[in-house]
Chain A
Amino acid sequence: MTGLVDSKAIEQSLTREEQLALKNKRAGMAIFQISWILIFVVLIWANLGLRGQETTWPPPGVERYDVVLPIIASVLLILSGFTARSGLQAVRTGDLARFTPMWRATLVLGVIFVGIMAFEWVNTTATGNYGMLLRVMVAFHAVHALVIGAFLWNVHQNRARYNPVNFWSVEAAAQLWYFVVVAWLLFFVVLYII
């Protein structure tokens, strides 16, 4: 489905100041994402560091996590990244009729993801460093998903305001949601795969 207007042309028709403001915001967001993802890297460092003390991982006598539900949650989260992207493109091309369902799909998929991981968090029986790392990393990620999800919800509530000229809040929310997706994929690999 093509949009109603050409978003690139609209962006170029902005004033010099508006274009600079947009350029600044995009650069600022990119630097923020690079910076903040490093906190997740610290947790990965802690994970790898602590497992380095053990001979096997998970440690002897500790059962490996079941990976089925987390895989379903991860697939849904990746899907939500695409729906967020689609919603953003809809706003930028003036296709507001497509924006609302896409954005709602993102929110619903995000809620299901957090719900599944909360279920895992509550029901995990793993102890020791293995269990501690799972609980801390999943919770740390969930806090980000919830805070940024609240921002997505805020964008949803104010959806009437956004159009091909005024779209930065939508773009920022989508960018932060991509961040949630990427951060989770890093954690998923560390927690469940390697």
Chain B
Amino acid sequence: MASVSLPAGAIPGSTQQTAPRLRVSDFLRWSVDHKVIGVQYMVTSFFFFLVGGTLAMMIRWELLTPELDVAVSGAQYNTLFTMHALVMIFLWIIPMLAGFGNYLIPLMLGAKDMAFPWLNAFAFWLIPPAGILMLISFFVSPPEAGWTMYPPLSVQYSGDGQTLAALGAHLLGISSILGAINFIVTILNMRPAGMSLWQMPLFCWSVLATSIIQVLATPFLAGALTLLLLDRMAGTTFFVPTGGGDPLLWQNIFWFYSHPAVYIMVLPAMGMLSEVLAVHARKPVFGYKLVALSSMGIGVVGFVVWAHHMFTSIQPQLRIPFMITSMIIAVPTGIKIFSWLGTIWGGKIRFTPAMLFALGFLSMFVIGGITGVTLAAIPFDVHVHDTYYVVAHFHFVLYGGSVFGIYAGIYHWWPKITGKEMNARLGHIHFWATYIGFLASFMPMHISGMLGMPRRVAVYLPEFQTLNTITSLGAFVLGLSTFIIIIAAVQSLLAGKKTTANPWRALTLEWATTSPPPATNFVNDPVVFPDPYGYGTPEAAAYVAMIEAQFDGKPSSERGIQTGGATPAPAPSVGD
């Protein structure tokens, strides 16, 4: 472990930022600062989280009883779950994780901004128009073919809203490709001296893997949507069987994008989990290289499993190969799970709200992962295909995984982003309400699914009522729990205590600057700590003490710090 030296000019008090504080209006206009763009992504997508959540509440209200309650017809109910999925996937999870990436990647790499700041802003500003298109579509004959938009439903029966929603998804796809190009170039080219690929924080690894998936998979969505739009608007018949088209073609191309896309939705959250668990358990990440490589492994294998979404529609001889690949992809995922367990094993765990959500992620993702393996088994999948068991599975990985991860990330980086502390008591209440509400809503779905309750129906047999009522009540708790974090956020912004540069005593570079960071991220060139997860060593303690001395003016314990000496080795900051 290299010794830690103070950079030249790192005298306490010399790094006071003089830049004016950002105002709310700064976030409403064009900006090329990756931190502003990151917040724009996060706030925009959180708004859509509330929209999608409202739709979820309507869905659960409808399913409270076996008869029609909210929707006037089954077709109207179809529009509810279609919009719910489109909004949650394309306008909440994916852009929210892109927001974290935007805010954190340059900071973690000690860079001043992304490789292409203008492109970054452009990628964000595609999202509001796309979101507006999606929302408008709900009010002009909404799409009712499900978020998977299977033809011929989506071509011959769904209304004009389907066209608008497809256009919106198209824009979001372009935004996602441009953002991913930016991430890959930034991560590969803009690391500081002293940080090899194998010394990057794991969040950078996961965003790198995600971005590679995005540039290779999203074009397939773009192509498929182009053909779908042509079918709808230009009279072509790519997917229309009556005109000689092939509906299965859509399913193949769509899932060739959308299965890798589920990793786009969870890999960055997994990266955040590695950060949060290591920092709050004060332990190095167990098996750093394997965790980094498993992200890449998931990225690669993710491209050859798509047909497991179509076990009931593809040629039977293709089922076994796809079953095998789908089971194989559990291996890199399992590596991550065991690495996280190894990380917290014997750690000095601090049960902060971030840590609670990270542990929640871990427990829920194990369940979601295991149900995933069961679904990869063809005999079982054929039995539960299109039932609530599938709905339970993907909510365990998407909510129990991604959303819990996002919550952990919000609690973890909130002090860095806002410069304010968040009320931990509210955070604890939020966690327990979410955890219990989540289990109550999605656990019973496994049972109702195995008993044979089909998904995407507004009216169901009375025998499923008990399970559905539990699910709905749990969902209402889950819906209300979202407001606790909003209250905690507002309270923190209005009356929160000012925080320090490094409240969690972390070793990654985003904490080696003021909270919130100045416009150029670092006033002096940041010093890279060679091992981003070397917690528990004297060097790590010295590094943290140095950051505290530098940014908060606290007397540092002098262990291991060389303040004198010849030229220290500051990491040259690149990417002006």
- Residues of chain A having any CB pair with chain B under 8 Å: 16-17, 20, 23-25, 27-28, 31-32, 34-43, 45-46, 49-50, 53, 128-129, 132, 136, 140
Assuming the contacts A27-B185, A28-B115, A28-B185, asked whether A42 and B574 have C-beta atoms less than 8 A apart, the reply is no
| Interface pair B181/A32, CB less than 8 Å apart | yes
Q: How far is the CA of A23 from the CA of B189 in the complex (A)?
A: 8
Contact with A along B179-190 (1 / 0, CB 8 A): 011101100111
Residue B68 is within 8 A (CB to CB) of chain A in the complex: no
A87 to chain B, nearest CB (A): 25
| Interface pair A24/B189, CB less than 8 Å apart | yes
Query: Considering the complex, which residues of chain B in the window 150-195 have a beta carbon less than 8 Å from any beta carbon of chain A?
Result: 177, 180-182, 184-185, 188-190
Please give, as numbers and ranges, the residues of chain A lying within 8 Å of B184 by CB-CB distance: 27, 31
| Interface pair B576/A42, CB less than 8 Å apart | no
Assuming the contacts A16-B574, A27-B188, A45-B253, asked whether A35 and B177 have C-beta atoms less than 8 A apart, the reply is yes
Please give, as numbers and ranges, the residues of chain B lying within 8 Å of A45 by CB-CB distance: 223, 249, 252-253
- Select the residue from B215, B223, B227 with max chain A CB neighbours within 10 A: B223
Q: Which residue of B lies closest to A17 (CB)?
A: B576
| Interface pair A35/B216, CB less than 8 Å apart | yes
Residue B226 is within 8 A (CB to CB) of chain A in the complex: yes
Chain B contact residues: helix, strand, loop or mixed: helix
Partner of A20, one of B180, B189, B223, B226: B189
Q: How far is the CA of A132 from the CA of B240 in the complex (A)?
A: 13
| Interface pair A42/B219, CB less than 8 Å apart | yes
Assuming the contacts A35-B216, A38-B220, asked whether A24 and B115 have C-beta atoms less than 8 A apart, the reply is yes
Q: Which residue of A lies closest to B215 (CB)?
A: A35
Q: Which residue of A lies closest to B178 (CB)?
A: A32
| Interface pair A39/B185, CB less than 8 Å apart | no
B48 to chain A, nearest CB (A): 25
- Residues of chain B having any CB pair with chain A under 8 Å: 115-116, 119, 177, 180-182, 184-185, 188-190, 215-216, 218-220, 222-224, 226-227, 230, 236-238, 244-246, 249, 252-253, 574-576
Assuming the contacts A50-B244, A53-B246, A132-B237, asked whether A27 and B224 have C-beta atoms less than 8 A apart, the reply is no
20 contacts between A and B (CB under 8 A): A23-B189, A27-B115, A27-B188, A31-B181, A31-B184, A32-B215, A35-B177, A35-B216, A35-B218, A38-B220, A40-B223, A46-B227, A46-B238, A46-B253, A50-B246, A53-B244, A129-B237, A132-B236, A136-B227, A136-B236
Q: Which residue of A lies closest to B574 (CB)?
A: A20
Assuming the contacts A38-B216, A53-B244, asked whether A43 and B185 have C-beta atoms less than 8 A apart, the reply is no
Please give, as numbers and ranges, the residues of chain B lying within 8 Å of A49 by CB-CB distance: 246, 249, 252
Number of A-B contacts (CB under 8 A): 98
Q: How far is the CA of A35 from the CA of B219 in the complex (A)?
A: 6
| Interface pair A39/B222, CB less than 8 Å apart | yes
| Interface pair A34/B215, CB less than 8 Å apart | yes
- Select the residue from A17, A38, A49 with max chain B CB neighbours within 10 A: A38
| Interface pair A42/B220, CB less than 8 Å apart | yes
Q: How far is the CA of A132 from the CA of B234 in the complex (A)?
A: 11
Given contacts A17-B575, A28-B181, A136-B236, 11 further A-B contacts (CB under 8 A): A23-B189, A24-B115, A24-B185, A31-B184, A35-B181, A38-B220, A39-B219, A41-B223, A50-B244, A50-B249, A128-B244
Partner of B215, one of A31, A129, A136: A31
Please give, as numbers and ranges, the residues of chain A lying within 8 Å of B252 by CB-CB distance: 45, 49
Q: Which residue of A lies closest to B572 (CB)?
A: A16
Q: How far is the CA of A45 from the CA of B177 in the complex (A)?
A: 20
| Interface pair B575/A20, CB less than 8 Å apart | yes
Please give, as numbers and ranges, the residues of chain B lying within 8 Å of A41 by CB-CB distance: 219-220, 223
Chain A contact residues: helix, strand, loop or mixed: helix
Q: How far is the CA of A128 from the CA of B238 in the complex (A)?
A: 10
B234 to chain A, nearest CB (A): 8
| Interface pair B253/A42, CB less than 8 Å apart | yes
Please give, as numbers and ranges, the residues of chain A lying within 8 Å of B576 by CB-CB distance: 17
- Select the residue from B181, B190, B230 with max chain A CB neighbours within 10 A: B181
Q: How far is the CA of A128 from the CA of B382 in the complex (A)?
A: 35
Assuming the contacts A20-B574, A49-B246, asked whether A28 and B182 have C-beta atoms less than 8 A apart, the reply is yes
Q: How far is the CA of A129 from the CA of B241 in the complex (A)?
A: 11
| Interface pair B219/A46, CB less than 8 Å apart | no
Partner of A43, one of B190, B215, B223, B575: B223
Q: How far is the CA of A20 from the CA of B190 in the complex (A)?
A: 8
Q: How far is the CA of A45 from the CA of B220 in the complex (A)?
A: 10
Please give, as numbers and ranges, the residues of chain B lying within 8 Å of A27 by CB-CB distance: 115, 184-185, 188-189
B252 to chain A, nearest CB (A): 7
| Interface pair A28/B238, CB less than 8 Å apart | no
Q: How far is the CA of A46 from the CA of B230 in the complex (A)?
A: 13
Please give, as numbers and ranges, the residues of chain B lying within 8 Å of A32 by CB-CB distance: 177, 181, 215
Assuming the contacts A17-B576, A28-B116, A132-B236, asked whether A46 and B222 have C-beta atoms less than 8 A apart, the reply is no
| Interface pair A24/B116, CB less than 8 Å apart | yes
| Interface pair A42/B218, CB less than 8 Å apart | no
Please give, as numbers and ranges, the residues of chain A lying within 8 Å of B226 by CB-CB distance: 39, 42, 140
Q: Which residue of B lies closest to A53 (CB)?
A: B246
Q: Which residue of B lies closest to A16 (CB)?
A: B574
| Interface pair B244/A129, CB less than 8 Å apart | yes
| Interface pair B219/A38, CB less than 8 Å apart | yes
Please give, as numbers and ranges, the residues of chain A lying within 8 Å of B215 by CB-CB distance: 31-32, 34-35
Q: How far is the CA of A159 from the CA of B395 in the complex (A)?
A: 55
Q: How far is the CA of A88 from the CA of B576 in the complex (A)?
A: 27
Q: Which residue of A lies closest to B239 (CB)?
A: A46
Q: How far is the CA of A120 from the CA of B266 in the complex (A)?
A: 47
| Interface pair A31/B249, CB less than 8 Å apart | no
Q: How far is the CA of A35 from the CA of B288 in the complex (A)?
A: 29
Q: How far is the CA of A124 from the CA of B71 in the complex (A)?
A: 49
B123 to chain A, nearest CB (A): 12
Q: How far is the CA of A69 from the CA of B119 in the complex (A)?
A: 40
Q: How far is the CA of A17 from the CA of B113 in the complex (A)?
A: 13
Q: How far is the CA of A35 from the CA of B211 in the complex (A)?
A: 11
Q: How far is the CA of A22 from the CA of B224 in the complex (A)?
A: 33
Q: Closest 6 A-B residue pairs measured CB to CB? A: A42-B223, A38-B219, A35-B215, A24-B115, A39-B223, A49-B249
B110 to chain A, nearest CB (A): 14
Partner of A46, one of B182, B185, B249: B249
Q: How far is the CA of A39 from the CA of B189 in the complex (A)?
A: 27
Q: How far is the CA of A114 from the CA of B512 in the complex (A)?
A: 55
Q: How far is the CA of A35 from the CA of B576 in the complex (A)?
A: 27
